[in-house]
Structure 1
Amino acid sequence: MAPSSPHRGVQHTLSSRGLAKLALRFFSSLRPTDCPLNCLGKARLDFNLLPLEGELHCLELFQWSLLYQGSKLVATQQSSQTGLQFLHCVMELQKKGIKFINREVESFKNIHLKDGTLEIPRLVILDTAMSLFLNLGAFEQCHFNCGNDTTTYLFFMDDLIDYAEQMRHLHNCGIMRHGLESDAEVADFFNQICKEMVLVSSRSYLSYLSKDVNTYFGNKWNGWIAILELKYFSNPWSIISLIAAFILHLLTLIQTLYGVFGYYRPSS
């Protein structure tokens, strides 16, 4: 049997890449985000689309398009040293001064805590989201080498969202959008979908993030500052009343000092 030509291998790789690009284009409407890949992201994704020999599963291809951030395998190995910690819900984190903003990035893996602000990419939940995430979660649990990034992300969002009010707050922050009937239905979506999955926390890429969030949450000073901001700095009238009260107490203190000084040092 004649050895296979190297040109045939190159042609096979090029045709596989072309097929993968077509598959990405076909499934692009299912991406649960309104932040499309920019030109640089597409170029990097195309360059690293088939890092291994052999076939590429459509779900794996779709997973990469959601989670890609430059060095997926290295990031997953580094994050596997510690386990994922339980996170408090949105309202509890708010009480400790943690704020939420939308992070305009392509990858769902780009979640960061910076100066007490949790930056999360926008997620768009449509009718197809349940079947989409269930399929991605099942694929990860059946293919151990593919990691568990999608499952980790879903458990992270499930920790944050328990009720409709928390979902509504993330919506107001620009992090969540949905086409379902109510915010309560979205909250129930996360609560139900994680019951169908198992997360190996020691392999979580959000391990360090969860540790940082819980460290910030456990700092009493952050909670006191958050209460002060919420109670006295939430609107201009509260600030004015606080300044007026401070001036009044200062004048009272000065008057008291003058009274004590006059008692012990009467004028001659």
Structure 2
Amino acid sequence: MEENQWMKIVNEELGRLPYTSEESAHWSKQSIYRIPASVTAINPTAYTPYLVSIGPYHHGSDNTKPMEKHKHRAFLHFLERSKMPIHAFWDALAPVAQDLKEAYDELSPEWQDDTHKFLQLMIIDGCFILEILRSSTTLTNAPPPPSEAQPSIVRDYAPNDPIFSRHGKLYFVPHLRRDMMMLENQLPLLVLQKLLAVQTGQPFEEYDLTKLILGFFGNFIPTRNMTEFNHCNHMLEIFRKRFLLEEHKVRGPSSRHIHGVDIIHPVKNLVAGGIKIKRNKTSSIKDIFFDSVYRVLKLPQISLDESSESVYLNQMAFERFHVGAGNEVTSFVFFMNNMIGSSSDVTILQNYGIIENFIGSEDDVAKLFQSLTKGITPDPENSLDEVHRQIGEYCSKPWSQLRTEIINTYFTDPWAITAAAILLFVLTILQTIFSVLAYTNPR
């Protein structure tokens, strides 16, 4: 290409360069992202669906092809139950087709240029999701299978359906739930909202869909907090917001960043230094705070199972790529990783009721948090900055360091336990006195 031709092209591109407000509007529409290879290379299986593809990114992959027939079958049952013609659903989504495309940060020409094919995918996948949500909350009250003498005249799922039955709920739905929490495997919530509005023939209510999604993920939320979920973009964002609710108290922004002294020590060292660990009454991962007077660190209870790694990584990926999402989940993961230096730290947290371990050994839990932080840089202005600062200040005090050294040095030797216990008791009394004096008279 000649130099003058290149300059001409650049000048034409400059003429088409959008204004800042237009660019801002463009970026704000995106909420479903392709995770780059630099991230997925560390743990590819955490971002790749096992059973079902939702949306265009993994459609047609070898892993998810067998589920396509079940998705189409669910689509037909959805239409049968709604008693509405197919064109009613098409007409509801067609006007917002471009908005749905713009929710994805990257679309291949296969989907970008063929709106008919794209809408077909949106409708089938959306109906499948709604059928999964519905069946997962109603199967417990499903009628018994009809007898051979009186076959059912209702064209619904058979009692031995491999997916939409009690059997499917036990063996397949947990894996589907994991797949439906992956960032690349999301569908714009607008699709489900439009489909539900046509099916019910009523104006869409965000409350009803949100409640259905939270019920599917097993996270009940009080009605008074349902407005917190307004304007979510997809199911993963709803699940993430559930992680952040029920905060105990509002905290202002921290005045300091995390420096060397503010790094959280392993749990065994915190306990050795005189810090008490208590389980918080709420389940919000934001609800972590340290009472420096009474030396109490309160933490929420978390349950860990085989899907936890993928769940955390995809929420962290959403925070990483969606501008303005926040960094609460990422901050929590780094906080826990700093507290868990070995399996003995996991044992302590289990004993205090902080960790429910459904993974395996304590060592497996320690390795889980180590793997979650690989290749990820924490935000220096993270949501737990103030807690880091307070604990760092406490651990830097001479009597806290002396107490930790005594326990780690002498409490492993049976002959020295008695003498060390007496000294530790005296130090604890002195520490309590100085803490109260510092609180009542800061000078």
Could you say whether these structures have the same fold, taking a TM-score greater than 0.5 normalized by the shorter chain as the test? Answer: yes
Partner of 1:256: none
- Output the CA distance in 1 between the equivalents of 2:304 and 2:317: 19
- Change in Cα spacing, 1:25 to 1:117, as seen in structure 2 (3 Å) is same
Please show how residues 218-237 of structure 1 align to structure 2 within 5 Å.
Answer: 218-224=396-402
Superposed, 1:5-154 pairs within 5 Å as 14-28=204-218, 37=221, 42-50=222-230, 52=231, 56-69=233-246, 78-79=252-253, 81-84=255-258, 85-114=262-291, 115-154=294-333
Q: Give, as a single letter, the amino acid of the residue that structure 1 aligns with 2:236.
A: L
The separation in 2 between residues aligned to 1:95 and 1:70, in whole angstroms, is 28
Work out whether residues 137 and 197 of structure 1, in 8 Å CA contact, stay in contact via their aligned partners in 2: no
Q: Which residue of 1 aligns with 2:393?
A: 215
Q: Which moved more, 1:223-232 or 1:91-100?
A: 223-232
Letter in 2 for 1:217: C
Partners of 1:82 and 1:209 in 2: how far apart? 11
SS of residue paired to 1:106 = coil
Query: 1:134 and 1:69 mapped to 2: Cα distance?
Result: 22
Q: Percent identity?
A: 25
Match of 1:191?
370
Distance 2:356 2:248 in 1: 28
Partner SS, residue 195 of structure 1 = coil
- The Cα shift of 1:21 comes to 1.5
Matched residue type, 1:63: R
Question: In structure 2, do the counterparts of structure 1 residues 107 and 127 end up closer, same or farther at CA, with 3 Å as the change threshold?
Answer: same
Q: Are the aligned partners of 1:44 and 1:70 in contact in 2 as well (CA < 8 Å)?
A: no
SS of residue paired to 1:118: strand
Relative to structure 1, the CA distance from residue 97 to residue 107 in structure 2 (aligned partners, 3 Å threshold; closer, same or farther) is same
2:405, 2:238 → 1: CA distance? 46
Distance 1:164 1:26, change over 3 A: same
Q: Is contact 2:247-2:287 (8 Å) kept? A: no
Of 164, 170, 180, the match for 2:359:
180
Q: CA deviation at 1:214?
A: 0.5
Distance 1:70 1:120 in 2: 11
Asked if the contact 2:254–2:386 (Cα under 8 Å) also holds between the matched residues in 1, the reply is: no
Separation of aligned partners in 1, 2:322 and 2:391: 30
Shift in Å, 1:224: 4.0
How many residue pairs are counted as aligned between the two chains? 212
What do you get for the CA RMSD once the two structures are aligned? 3.1
For structure 1, the residue ranges without an aligned partner over 5 or more in a row are 1-7, 244-268
Amino acid at match of 2:298: E
CA distance in 2, matches of 1:163, 1:226: 17
User: Within 5 A, what are the aligned runs for 1:255-266?
Assistant: none
Q: Distance in 2 between matches of 1:96 and 1:155?
A: 21
- Cα 1:219–1:57 shift into 2, 3 Å: same
CA contact (8 A) 1:98 1:117 kept: yes
Seen in structure 2, the aligned counterparts of structure 1 residues 175 and 141 have a Cα distance that, compared at 3 Å, is same
Paired with 2:273 and 2:247, the residues of 1 have a C-alpha distance of 33
Q: 1:124 to 1:70 in 2, by over 3 A?
A: closer
- Residue 124 of structure 1, CA deviation: 1.0
Q: Is the 8 A contact 1:45 1:65 kept in 2?
A: no
- Residue pair 2:266, 2:341 contacting (<8 A) in 1 also: yes
In 1, the alpha carbon distance for the partners of 2:227 and 2:301 equals 26
The letter for the 2-side match of 1:43 is: T
- Quote how far apart the aligned CAs of 1:212 are: 0.3
Give the corresponding residue for 1:255: none
SS across alignment from 1:83 = coil
Q: Under a length normalisation based on structure 1, what TM-score does the superposition of the two structures give?
A: 0.69
- d(CA) in 2 for partners of 1:92 and 1:201? 24
State the AA in 2 paired with 1:150. Answer: V
Residue type of the alignment partner of 1:88: H
Q: Which residue of structure 2 lines up, in the alignment, with residue 264 of structure 1?
A: none
Conserved in 2, the CA contact under 8 Å of 1:152 and 1:205? yes
Deviation digits for residues 71-125 of structure 1 (CA, Å, limit 9, x no counterpart): 99x75xx336532442111122223211212112131211111221211111111
Match of 2:345 in 1: 166
* Structure 1 contact 96–226 (Cα < 8 Å) conserved: yes
* C-alpha distance in structure 2 between counterparts of 1:242 and 1:96, whole Å: 15
What is the identity, as a one-letter code, of the residue corresponding to 2:233? L
Query: Are residues 21 and 226 of structure 1, via their aligned partners in 2, closer, same or farther at CA, if it must alter by over 3 Å?
Result: same
Alpha-carbon distance between aligned partners in 2 of 1:101 and 1:172, rounded to the nearest angstrom: 10
Question: Which is further off, 141-150 or 105-114?
Answer: 105-114
